[in-house]
Copies of this chain bind each other. A is one copy, B any other.
Amino acid sequence: MKKKLSIRDIAEQLKVSKTTVSFVLNGKAAENGVSKAMERRVLAYIEKVGYRPNRMAQGLRTGRSKTIGMMVEDISDAFFSSIARKFEEILSVKGYRIIYGSTENNTAVAKDLIQVFRNHQVDGYIIAPPPGIEEDIRELIADELPVIVFDRTLPNLEVDSVLVDNHQGAYRATRHLLDNGYKHITLVTLTSEQIQMRERERGYLDCLAEAGKRAKILRIKYHEQREKAVSDIEKNIPADTDAVLFATNYLAENGLEAIAMRRWNIPDQVAIAVFDDCNWFKLFKPSITAVAQPLEAICTEVVDLLLQKLEHAGHKAPRSLHLPTHLVIRDSSQQRSQ
């Protein structure tokens, strides 16, 4: 049984002081005048016995945990889990680990999670915020803790953020449906007031308004029983609908089922477009048109902003990035006759 080593053991074995070991460990050998030879000796020994400093002790001492708290709506969602993976990739090379929490868009859960992250002394916060936590986020910022929000933001909240251009994405998808000859485009969205949803709605509305068409919006409650969502859509989708834009992947999942129940043929009777792409969409028959979010870019931008704050703390004016989406046109939105 490998006994747990401490820096003191290392120092004793090596007949040097803890300080020296500590300096070497933290790459501060040179600046503190530890000889190159000594540095190599320490490094070699550490390597040999597989010593790694105790993060708890380090953390207690330095106030930094090398841990990032990531709060999303649902880690099992394809969008957020892809994001989680990329954050992990980028942050792990910088020595950070991630602890995550799913809010289900619940304010109380989110508030609690922020406290939990605080207890864990996370060094930074990556947050896809549910409604109602503006104040909590402001407190983090007031305490100089690095916070980046992404995917959506909150009204009147000044914070670094990385968003996609939801308006543009929905606008283009709608435009595309119109261009392909569809006339009665229904938006299926959530009842939620979240900004990204509002923006998607606005994109859709603006496009239809320009085209002089009437908008039809079907609002579904978040996370009821799956079956309820399906029947809700099935029952309430306007009968003259000839195209549907689903505002989220989750809605598409239920909505496609509803459309199958109605036996509407895609794309001849009804066209489909979905906000948020998914690997499986290209395999559907017909394949499904989607607004793809730039996952890679979102993640690198978030981490960039975060690392900047982590490395040189200090209040800069919050920056807000808007990344473009990309419309992936597939078969579900183009009539065969065309």
- Closest CB in chain B relative to A16 CB, distance in Å: 22
Cβ contacts under 8 Å, A90 to chain B = none
- Closest CB in chain B relative to A235 CB, distance in Å: 19
Docked CA distance A257–B284 (Å): 10
The answer to whether B143 touches A1, judged by C-beta atoms less than 8 angstroms apart, is: yes
- Closest CB in chain B relative to A105 CB, distance in Å: 14
The answer to whether A116 touches B97, judged by C-beta atoms less than 8 angstroms apart, is: yes
The answer to whether B60 touches A88, judged by C-beta atoms less than 8 angstroms apart, is: no
The answer to whether B100 touches A100, judged by C-beta atoms less than 8 angstroms apart, is: yes
- Considering only CB atoms and an 8 Å cut-off, how many residues of chain A contact the other chain? 54
Instruction: Contacts A97-B99, A101-B97 given; indicate if A84 touches B88 (C-beta within 8 A).
Output: no
The answer to whether A121 touches B76, judged by C-beta atoms less than 8 angstroms apart, is: no
Docked CA distance A240–B82 (Å): 37
Q: Across the two chains, which residue of chain B brings its CB closest to A285?
A: B285
Cβ contacts under 8 Å, A81 to chain B = 75-78, 80-81, 84
Docked CA distance A206–B279 (Å): 33
Instruction: Contacts A54-B119, A55-B121, A74-B85 given; indicate if A67 touches B99 (C-beta within 8 A).
Output: yes
Instruction: Contacts A52-B118, A256-B283, A280-B253 given; indicate if A75 touches B88 (C-beta within 8 A).
Output: yes
Does A333 make an interface contact (CB < 8 A)? Answer: no
Q: Pick the contact of A1 from B80, B142, B260, B284 — CB < 8 Å? A: B142
How would residues 109 to 124 of chain A score, 1 for a CB under 8 Å from any chain B CB and 0 otherwise? 0000001101111000
Stoichiometry, copies per complex:
2
Docked CA distance A253–B52 (Å): 41
The answer to whether B88 touches A82, judged by C-beta atoms less than 8 angstroms apart, is: no
Cβ contacts under 8 Å, A211 to chain B = none
Docked CA distance A285–B272 (Å): 15
The answer to whether A280 touches B282, judged by C-beta atoms less than 8 angstroms apart, is: no
Q: Across the two chains, which residue of chain B brings its CB closest to A295?
A: B76
The answer to whether A102 touches B85, judged by C-beta atoms less than 8 angstroms apart, is: yes
- Closest CB in chain B relative to A303 CB, distance in Å: 16
Cβ contacts under 8 Å, A116 to chain B = 92, 97
Q: Across the two chains, which residue of chain B brings its CB closest to A101?
A: B88
Q: Pick the contact of A54 from B55, B85, B121 — CB < 8 Å? A: B121
Q: Pick the contact of A283 from B139, B260, B279 — CB < 8 Å? A: B260
Q: Supply 8 further A-B pairs (C-beta < 8 A) apart from A50-B115, A56-B60.
A: A52-B115, A74-B85, A75-B81, A75-B84, A76-B85, A88-B102, A98-B99, A253-B280
Interface residues of A (CB under 8 A from B): 1-2, 4, 50, 52-57, 59-60, 65, 67, 74-78, 80-82, 84-85, 88-89, 92, 97-102, 115-116, 118-121, 139, 142-144, 253, 256-257, 260, 278-280, 282-285
> Could you list 16 examples of A-B contacts with CB < 8 Å?
A1-B143, A1-B144, A2-B142, A54-B121, A55-B121, A57-B60, A67-B99, A74-B85, A75-B75, A75-B88, A76-B85, A77-B81, A81-B84, A97-B116, A98-B100, A285-B285
